[in-house]
Amino acid sequence: MRQSGSKAKSGAPSAEVSREVFPWWAYPVLILLTIGTFCLCVGIGSVSISPGQTLRILAGALSQGSLRPSAAAGAVSGTVTGAAAGTVSGTAASIILSVRLPRVLCVALSGASLSLCGAVMQGLLKNPLADGSTLGVSSGASLGAALAITLNVMIPGTPFSGTTLLSMVTAFLSMLFILSLAWRLDRSLSTNTIILLGIVFSMFISSVISLVIIFSPDKIHSYTFWTMGSLAGTGYGDARTLFIALAVCGAILLRYAPELNAYSIGEENAAHIGVDIRRVRLIILITVSSLIGVCVSIGGTIGFVGLVTPHILRMLTGPNHRKLLPASLFGGAIFLMLTDLIARVVCSPLELPVGVITSFVGAPVFTYIFYRTRRYRD
């Protein structure tokens, strides 16, 4: 019995090592899957457009150097004969370039951002349940956006609107408040304490948001749809804002992948090998809250993206954040693009908020992770 037990123990590390094997060719595969999913989501909708025509329209827009439907239609019309065919190609180009392309771009960038934030928070807190939605950060960002919309907050002379900036500020303050209170109640920052405080905080913020909505009844319909999480009606300006935020914040978070690996072996050990614990934690928290704030200000509260995709990808890449964080970018984009596609076509012509679909997927995954974590600790 002792020998079998020793074999089991000796076999565990080898299993962990095998899980960390993530070959280099996996990244090109993820890139191709992301591009394929992107083209699929652009072509499918209430009006289906063939993959070949979708690619021709996109290629035409790129060759003309313009995202105007007329330019793309002109490029496509060279391969299509007849006035009716030209009208069809012009309509398809208008649908793709004016409606679907900016939306899918925003969906992909939001998914990549939320997934990256979830993977980083899970590594920083050593908590597989950490996510913007479970920690109450998304709810805090929603409150900031609600206040900005209700009060018509505008900040002239800045590249971002008042809604985005106020969402970033309230997201950071929410994260700071929850972690500080959790530290006061439980110095070990256990899973149960953080998640419970995050849920209670989210319920409180929901009540405050309801109170804000009461004082702005003319915006109830649009705001209710926005709080469920939706990227309908987003444009190229929103995609530009998301891209800038992801490029800046994503570069910072990827830079701290080695420090997150050090955190996984404990803060004391990380300090011994030269990691500035307080500085790294502060920079990561500010960066994550800023990125979540931007996503919430544009697409509303889209929950569980940062919980589901890092958990799945961690099974493939292992705990190494040098591999997990880049993979989370592509995985999050693919996950949210597919869920947004389902939201658009499952009840066509009625469109569901994408946050509803992600909650349907994320709630069972959250329960499974929580059960698995408790059983492992017991």
Average pLDDT estimate for 188-216: 82
Report if residue 345 sits inside a domain.
Answer: yes
Give the angle 66-72-75 at the CA atoms, nearest 5°: 115
Whether residue 11 is predicted with pLDDT greater than 50 in this model: the reply is: no
Q: So what's the pLDDT on residue 339?
A: 95
Per-residue pLDDT for 342 more than 60? yes
Task: Report in angstroms the alpha-carbon separations of 329 from 148, 276, 288, 318, 324.
Answer: 29, 26, 14, 15, 9
Share of the chain above pLDDT 90, in %: 27
Position 325 confidence tier, pLDDT thresholds 50, 70, 90: very high
pLDDT of residue 159: 54
More confident residue, 59 or 187: 59
Q: Classify residue 362: in a domain, yes or no.
A: yes
Tens-place pLDDT, residues 214-228:
887 777 766 776 778
Residue 12, pLDDT score: 36
Number of domains in the chain: 1
Say what the pLDDT of residue 377 is: 56
**Residue carrying the six token digits 């590594």:** 123
Could you read off the pLDDT of 123-136 as tens digits, one per residue? 988 888 788 887 88
% pLDDT > 70, the chain: 82
pLDDT at 15 over 50: no
Cβ neighbours of residue 37 closer than 8 Å, sequence gap 6 or more = 333, 334, 337, 338
**Domain assignment present for 14:** no
Asked if residue 149 is part of any domain, the answer here is yes
The predicted structure's pLDDT at residue 21? 63
In a domain, residue 332? The reply is yes
User: Any idea what the Cα angle at residue 292 is, between residues 287 and 293, rounded to 5°?
Assistant: 95
The mean pLDDT value of the chain amounts to 81
Residue 270 lies inside a defined structural domain of this protein: yes
Q: Does 40 reside within a domain?
A: no
Q: Is pLDDT at 33 greater than 90 in this prediction?
A: yes
Distance (Å, rounded) from C-alpha 248 to C-alpha 288? 11
| 83 domain-assigned | no
Select from 123, 132, 58, 64 the least CA-distant residue to 95. Answer: 58
Looking at residue 158, its pLDDT comes to 60
* pTM score, whole prediction: 0.83
CATH number at residue 298: 1.10.3470.10
User: In which domain, by residue range, is 219 found?
Assistant: 110-377
Q: 284-323 pLDDT, tens per residue?
A: 988 998 999 999 989 888 988 998 899 889 888 888 999 9
